[in-house]
């Protein structure tokens, strides 16, 4: 066990956990933030995507010791009232089917648009290609990202 300081969704938190604990489990089991999902556990599906200092990362493969003293944002902290432009576009385009991967999809899309506010189709495909959706909502995901872009 070791102590870590992290800033989660703008709030400073102090934790005592095993240094090898993946951020995903710290979020879900220690901080009661279940919006970030477990899919594959090996950084291949994107369900566990959060922001680390504003960039999309896979929380299932990031030990807490590697992210201490950094700023982490989860789907719960992306906006005050679910009104981030990507979240609004998701509603407009009725994107989710089962919904399981969607927090990760939204976090990846928000990071993509922050770094590239006017992405081409190719930019969207490249930026989102690590986020898998078993329901195949890719067409709606792309349309929503397009409509949230400048």
Contact, 78 vs 87, CB < 8 A? yes
Contact, 117 vs 150, CB < 8 A? yes
Sheet holding 55-58, edge to edge: 11-17, 2-8, 71-73, 49-52, 55-58
Which range touches ligand FES (CB under 6 A), out of 41-49, 81-89, 106-114, 121-129?
Answer: 41-49
Position of tokens 């929503």? Answer: 144
Provide, rounded to whole angstroms, the least separation between the CB of residue 105 and ligand FES. 12
85 binds ligand FES (CB under 6 A): no
Per the DSSP assignment, residues forming a β-bridge with 92 are none
Provide, rounded to whole angstroms, the least separation between the CB of residue 136 and ligand FES. 17
48 binds ligand FES (CB under 6 A): yes
* Cα distance between the two ends of the chain: 46
**Of residues 8 and 48, the one with the C-beta less far from ligand FES:** 48
Which range touches ligand FES (CB under 6 A), out of 9-17, 42-50, 73-81, 106-114?
Answer: 42-50
CA 112/CA 9 separation, integer angstroms: 19
Q: How many residues at the interface with ligand FES, by CB under 6 A?
A: 12
Helix (H) / strand (E) containing 40: none
Choice from 31, 47, 107, 148 touching ligand FES (CB under 6 A): 47
Choice from 17, 40, 66, 135 touching ligand FES (CB under 6 A): 40
């Amino acid at each position: 066990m070791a102590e870590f300081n992290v800033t989660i969704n703008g709030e400073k938190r102090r934790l005592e956990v095993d240094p090898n604990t993946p951020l995903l489990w710290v979020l879900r089991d220690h901080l009661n933030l279940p919006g970030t999902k477990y899919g594959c556990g090996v950084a291949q599906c994107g369900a566990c995507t959060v922001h680390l200092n504003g960039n999309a990362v896979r929380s299932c493969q990031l030990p807490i010791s590697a992210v201490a003293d950094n700023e982490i944002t989860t789907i719960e902290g992306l906006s005050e009232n679910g009104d981030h432009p990507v979240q609004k576009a998701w509603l407009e385009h009725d994107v989710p089917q089962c919904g399981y991967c969607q927090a990760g999809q939204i976090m990846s899309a928000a990071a993509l648009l922050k770094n590239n506010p006017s992405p081409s189709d190719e930019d969207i495909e490249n930026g989102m290609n690590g986020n898998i959706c078993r329901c195949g909502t890719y067409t709606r995901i792309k349309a929503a990202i397009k409509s949230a872009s400048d």
